[in-house]
Amino acid sequence: MNRNILSIVLTACILSSISQKATFGDVSANEQNSDVSITITKFHVNDQTVELSWKIANNTDHDVWICDDVSVYEKLDFEVYLSEDEQSLLIRRRLDVPTDVVWTQVPDGRYVLLRSGQERTESVSLDVPVTPRLMFAGGLATSDHAKRIVLEI
């Protein structure tokens, strides 16, 4: 991955019983204001690091659970790898992912409760070049550059 990123597509997924919404600053992917949303608050890439921060807001009338940690043999915080299209750096923290990987220990996760009206701020910082951290993904991509970042929570 280099600092001449051609395009940045941030896809944010929150598992919620209503709908999903992703925003980047003031640009909204969904005009509704009555669901769970992720707002990207910081995105910075240079020769040493990729830094990404976001705010999760529960705008629903009910509580939601947000995945806070995933682990198999050790705490990983996030699964990080270059996706099959070899153009997207995937940063993922979820357990409901299909996989062909066979583990000797079943992955587990920790969830935190986000009450109606509450917000949660999170971030991740990765060293460049980004080292893959695999949990559910199988093979490794052969490219060493990404054009997009995909964030899945």
Q: Is the pLDDT of residue 41 over 70?
A: yes
Distance from C-alpha of 41 to C-alpha of 55, rounded to nearest angstrom: 7
Q: Is the pLDDT of residue 39 over 60?
A: yes
The model carries a pTM of: 0.71
Q: Most distant CA pair in the chain: distance in Å?
A: 45
Q: Is the pLDDT of residue 112 over 90?
A: yes
Distance from C-alpha of 39 to C-alpha of 23, rounded to nearest angstrom: 5
Task: Give Rg (Cα) of the chain.
Answer: 16
Q: Quick one: pLDDT band at residue 31, thresholds 50, 70, 90?
A: very low
User: What percent of the chain clears pLDDT 90, i.e. is strictly above it?
Assistant: 31
Distance from C-alpha of 87 to C-alpha of 112, rounded to nearest angstrom: 31
Q: Are 127 and 92 in contact (CB under 8 A)?
A: no
When pLDDT is averaged across residues 83-99 and rounded to a whole number, the result is 83
Distances (CA, A) of 19 to 35, 37, 68, 74, 100: 6, 9, 20, 32, 28
Domain extent listing, the chain: 10-152
Q: Is the pLDDT of residue 30 over 90?
A: no
Q: For the ranges 35-39, 47-51, 77-81, 124-128, which has the lowest average pLDDT?
A: 77-81
Which structure tokens are listed for 55?
Answer: 């705010």
